[in-house]
Structure 1
């Protein structure tokens, strides 16, 4: 279990920030004592200590909208938790996606994760890795592959099969990320260009 100091607070509680592991959206803030923390780590479902009910409270015990733990982290002072979860439905008791009344959509963070995987394949190639084989072929072949995938996407765009279109779009996105890595350009650099253009509009 992650070491955390519950003695810093007179009531033995520490704040727990709950974040969607896929979208990065902050879902809610709750409090945990040592028992709630241990139960959460053991069962993989977020349990808080309810200050109003004065007891352990598993989020979703009534609604079924449990928070399934993906990762638990402690801050540098050892007195605050960040818990990344997969929510099984809306988080707020009002029915909203988050307790801050935000819509919890967007999986763009996965692109950063995928970029890191691609980078690792470049730095630590294996014979079994398709990505490593792409890097071994050089920038010209990677760029050619991006072009081929772009043409296939255009072809699928003219038909009405959404699943095939999405598959080709995913292929293009993947090979585009490989090309960026081959050129030693971070995805954030491209996003910065888009943000700069947007600011000028």
Structure 2
């Protein structure tokens, strides 16, 4: 990357975005040394203007940001880093430094939680109970929740429909995980279909 560190006196702004949910987590600054350390360790390191030194996010709290991708803007003077946060990003304990009311892409976070349950079974986990019952039961639950969603849409309250649709999406995510498919793959397929028509 041909990053222009000279344009702003040696520091460039860096936007951190959650790789799964796409939520903007924070803004920091990097000099060339911070950028090189971020590349070599695959963990976000900034140049702290208040501490006047390199500062790896989470060096004290353990809430590091693992880099998944780095993109340079069209002016070569701003970075967008997608990362997997290990714990809250903000020093206040919030998910994001921007006080977003809710995670607008929570489906991706939920997919991550379900994947974790498959990989690291937890005592009493509903996902693990479904997993033990096998693919047929998981698929059956998607069918049941689909029918219940239709019934709620036709004969019940808006709140009932919201609850049934939530159950349907949850069970669909479990089924996709059981088949080793990602929500991203479905989104890409929908985007392809949209551009074709």
Compute the TM-score of the two structures, normalised by the length of structure 1.
Answer: 0.58
Q: Say which one has the larger Rg.
A: 1
1:153 matched to 2:142: yes
SS of residue matched to 1:95: coil
Q: 1:185 aligns with which of 181, 187, 193?
A: 193
Contact residue 17 and residue 30 of structure 1 kept, 8 A = yes
Unaligned runs of 5+ in 2: 110-137, 148-167
Contact 1:152 1:168 in 2 (8 A): no
1:26-175 correspondence to structure 2 within 5 Å = 26-102=24-100, 103-104=102-103, 106=105, 108=107, 153-155=142-144, 167-168=174-175
- CA–CA distance in structure 2, aligned partners of residues 63 and 87 of structure 1: 12
> CA 1:67–1:157 in structure 2 vs 1: closer, same or farther (change >3 Å)?
same
CA drift at 1:101: 1.4
- Residues 4 and 164 (structure 1 numbering): CA distance in 2 closer, same or farther, change over 3 Å? closer
1-side partners of 2:172 and 2:107: how far apart? 19
RMSD: 3.7
Q: Does 1:16 align with 2:14?
A: yes
Pairs aligned (count): 140
The 1:8–1:99 alpha-carbon spacing in structure 2 relative to 1, beyond 3 Å, is same
CA distance in 1, matches of 2:39, 2:105: 27
Q: Which residues of structure 1 form unaligned runs of 5+?
A: 111-148, 190-201
TM superposition score normalised by structure 2: 0.59
- Please tell me whether the aligned partners of residues 141 and 171 of structure 2 are also in contact (alpha carbons under 8 angstroms): no
Change (3 A) 1:98 1:164: closer
Q: Distance in 2 between matches of 1:3 and 1:18?
A: 19
**Is the 1:156–1:168 Cα contact (8 Å) retained in structure 2?**
no
Give the secondary structure class of the aligned counterpart of 1:35: helix
Contact in 2 for aligned 1:156/1:165 (Cα 8 Å): no
1:5 to 1:105, Cα distance in 2 relative to 1, 3 A = same
